[in-house]
Structure 1
Amino acid sequence: MPVTVPPHAPFVTFLDFPHVSDLDSLQADIAIMGLPYGDPYTAAEVTNDQTNAPTAVRRASPRLSLGLDRWDFDIGGTLFNGRDLRVVDVGDVTMRIGDPGGHYRRAEQAARKILGAGARLISIGGDHGVPIPVFRALDVVGPVTLVHIDAHLDWRDEVNGVREGYSSPIRRASEMPHIRRIVQIGMRGQGSARTEEVEAARKWGAEIITAWELQDRGMASVLASIPDGGRYYLTIDADGIDPSVMPAVAAPAPGGVSYRDAIALIKGLCRKGTLVGMDVVEITPERDINEITAIAAGYFILNAIGAIART
């Protein structure tokens, strides 16, 4: 039985990569998966606009590339660099009426099958709660260093009694024994974090690099502080990126990680060791301008594929 299925509307895959729904016999180097549904804090958030983001990124993806044989100046050559790399799109993890929490269980099952098959997992959210089940599945490839781009700290233990919502993913990750190191980049302004969450993150040992510190140090310095030869997972909250690059977010904040620095981080992690997975979350498509946010997310994915092809 397939764990993930495409939506009822005609399904468009990312960059027209083959669609694979049966994960039990998966043969791929990289699998792209949509995770539309988080663990909502209110009824209005069950199907908010962020649930439309995986579809929006896929539909914008033809604007990224006129053909996989074209030279990409961000990547420094063609996408696959002459390698026989198999990239597939496995569709979206569904939410079933009457089982609102079941999508997290199915997401974890899907992630475990993908990682267990030896593929790298690239997910498109959804709010920032959706990587939590993927974090659990990383024990298949752990230990892992979690690298986090965001304007916000995401260390809340609970909000409205919900412990796996979009304000809590890094707190939940810190409780998983296979997550050995956490590096958080781009924090600025105010979010849901209170003094106790900041203190909890520092006590755990999370390395918190504000947007201003990043500008002073540079991404090369941040990468140099991450030990070589590890396994890395990168989670990108769109509001962690400069809003001139990714404006379609629910909580925009001036400043942020530049496009150049985000690409440098993706490439740098692939050079340092193994990027086992990545996600891009918190995109609100109805607020987008000329699809630039969806296109930027697509370029992050494209550059990750290109960097993996060169390692």
Structure 2
Amino acid sequence: MHVDGHTDFRHPGNSDDCASVAGEDLAAAVGLHWPDVSDIDGAGPYFDPARTAHMGCRDDDAELAEVRAVVGTVLPTSEWRARGTAAVVDALQTTADAAGYWLQVDVDVLDPTVMPAVDSPDPGGSTAEELIELLRGLAPRAVGASVTVYDPDLDPDGTHAHLLADVLTAGLGDLGCALQ
């Protein structure tokens, strides 16, 4: 499960500007990057593209069409809102492995009015409440989670760190409980 405000699908096949895995991680995870990144020790692809889901990007994401052609389920924030979180969780879990999945959350999935302490803030993201509801639905079947892109240099008084801690505590509290 790749929850991110961007598809992070830049790779050598669609860009000459590859240099930051932060904008390339989904492509690398499904095997579409340099072998030194996407096939370390012959272990790639790390995730089966057909069993991988992405959600939370904006409708104008440059790689959205390519991601839709490669990855099992792709739901930009606009579709998430249109379908409702419960239906989205069902759709995402249909794509994922029944034995569990990894949950990658990039904080820039949140709208910059909610979370400006990220390096690539783009309007049209989720609210804190929407992200909590999504994570609550996904966390029970997740074998683990990673959270990225919060930038403390952009949050000098720590206000957004506290919000993020609240979102993660509320959303990930049942992490892995359905797998026990």
Listed as ranges, the matches of 1:18-33 within 5 Å are none
Q: Which has the higher helix share?
A: 2
Answer yes or no: is the 8 Å Cα contact 1:232–1:269 preserved in 2.
no
Residue equivalent to 2:114: 245
Pairing partner for 1:233 from 88, 102, 121: 102
Q: Which has the larger radius of gyration?
A: 1
Alpha-carbon shift at residue 206 of structure 1 (Å): 3.6
Residue equivalent to 2:5: 151
Pair 1:302 & 2:169 matched: yes
Pairing partner for 1:258 from 114, 127, 148: 127
What is the rounded CA distance, in whole Å, between the counterparts of 2:172 and 2:108 in structure 1? 22
What is the rounded CA distance, in whole Å, between the counterparts of 1:240 and 1:303 in structure 2? 16
Structure 1, unaligned runs of 5 or more? 1-146
**In angstroms, what is the RMSD of aligned CA positions?**
2.6
Residues 186 and 161 of structure 1, relative CA distance in 2, 3 Å threshold: closer
Residue equivalent to 2:53: 183
What is the rounded CA distance, in whole Å, between the counterparts of 1:199 and 1:309 in structure 2? 32
- Tell me the percent identity: 28
Answer yes or no: is the 8 Å Cα contact 2:133–2:171 preserved in 1.
no
Cα deviation code 1:103-153 (max 9, x no counterpart): xxxxxxxxxxxxxxxxxxxxxxxxxxxxxxxxxxxxxxxxxxxx1222211
Residue equivalent to 1:281: 148
What is the rounded CA distance, in whole Å, between the counterparts of 1:276 and 1:309 in structure 2? 5
Alpha-carbon shift at residue 252 of structure 1 (Å): 1.4
Pair 1:213 & 2:69 matched: no
TM-score (norm. length: structure 2): 0.73
What is the rounded CA distance, in whole Å, between the counterparts of 1:305 and 1:236 in structure 2? 11
Listed as ranges, the matches of 1:3-82 within 5 Å are none
Pair 1:170 & 2:170 matched: no
SS in 2 for 1:308: coil
Residues 309 and 166 of structure 1, relative CA distance in 2, 3 Å threshold: closer
Cα deviation code 1:234-267 (max 9, x no counterpart): 2121211122321111221222122122222222
Pair 1:291 & 2:119 matched: no
Structure 2, unaligned runs of 5 or more? 32-43
Answer yes or no: is the 8 Å Cα contact 2:139–2:176 preserved in 1.
no
Answer yes or no: is the 8 Å Cα contact 1:266–1:307 preserved in 2.
no
Amino acid at match of 1:202: R
After the TM superposition, list the runs of 4 or more consecutive aligned residues in structure 1 that deviate by more than 6 angstroms.
Answer: none
Residues 167 and 297 of structure 1, relative CA distance in 2, 3 Å threshold: same
Answer yes or no: is the 8 Å Cα contact 2:115–2:160 preserved in 1.
yes
Number of aligned residue pairs: 158
Answer yes or no: is the 8 Å Cα contact 1:154–1:167 preserved in 2.
yes
Amino acid at match of 2:136: K
Q: Which has the higher strand share?
A: 1
